[in-house]
Amino acid sequence: MIIPSIDIIKGKVVRLYQGKYDQIKEYNKDVQFYIEKYRTHQVKMVHLVDLDGARNHLSKQTAFLKNILKKNPNFFQIGGGIKKSEDIEMLLDFGAKRVVIGSSALNNMNKAKKWFKTYGSEVITLAIDVHIHNNFFKEVVISGWKKRTGISLEYVISEFSPFGLKHVLCTDISKDGTLSGPNFFLYKEISKKFQHIKFQASGGVSSLKDISILRKNGIKKIIVGKALLENKFTLLEAKKCCQKE
């Protein structure tokens, strides 16, 4: 399954390079253009990121998100600046299909575990961003990738699995927004080790070959952002590539 990604700042479609706000590229089409384009190709879900909210939870694009979500119910997986239960409830009420929790969940695991109990694992995606060390220690990073936690991806999954963790969006931060290809070894290893998790591979996809290799390595859900925005391949080609595997 291909999941197109749309990042927004002040309502405009953008991409960051490795998550850096000082390396931003703005696209001249608006969000609705991409929504209509993806709907035409029968996309089941779009990954939408509020980068203003991710940077400062007090700057969430609430009015804009409300408008988009209510017009397109049960279509978006959305993240950025989600700190408390009220944020999750608000987005679900607006019409979000799934809500992505990341830094806040890792800063307070006990609180996040309650979210899985309250809202159910089907509507929550846990975002785990990792910095890969030379010894292949997958260190989890948070707060816009500025803070290293010292804990591993494996530890986080083991902590949340008893509470129904099902959807995990995993990003190798060195790959995000680079079009340099995904970390295939990472996804092959974790998909084999945690077969109860539906991983979403994110970061670096630049070609149909990348999609094909990810699928062969056990990844069924692939987030594609910059490659689609910059027409490296079409959504139709990407979907056909998935169907072949």
Q: 185-208 burial, b if ≥16 CB within 10 A, otherwise e?
A: ebbbbbbeebeebbbbbbbbbbeb
> What are the tens digits of pLDDT across the range 97-147?
999 999 999 999 999 999 999 999 999 999 999 999 988 999 999 988 788
pTM of the model: 0.94
Angle between helices 62-71 and 85-94 (to 10 degrees): 40
> What are the tens digits of pLDDT across the range 199-213?
999 999 999 999 999
Per residue, the 3-state secondary structure of 108-119, as one string, reads CHHHHHHHHHHH
Go through the chain and tell me how many residues it has: 245
What letter does residue 182 receive in the DSSP assignment? -
Q: How many domains does the chain have?
A: 1
Q: Which residues contact 238 (CB under 8 A, 6 or more apart)?
A: 2, 208, 211, 224, 228
> What are the tens digits of pLDDT across the range 25-47?
999 999 999 999 999 999 999 99
Residue 129 designated active-site:
yes
Residue 172 designated active-site:
no
* Residue tagged active-site, from 50, 52, 87, 129: 129
Structure tokens at 140: 């989890």
Residues 175-202 have a mean pLDDT of: 94
**CATH number of the domain bearing residue 140:** 3.20.20.70
* Residue tagged active-site, from 7, 52, 172, 210: 7
Are 15 and 204 contacting, i.e. CB atoms less than 8 angstroms apart? no
Residue 175 structural domain: 2-244
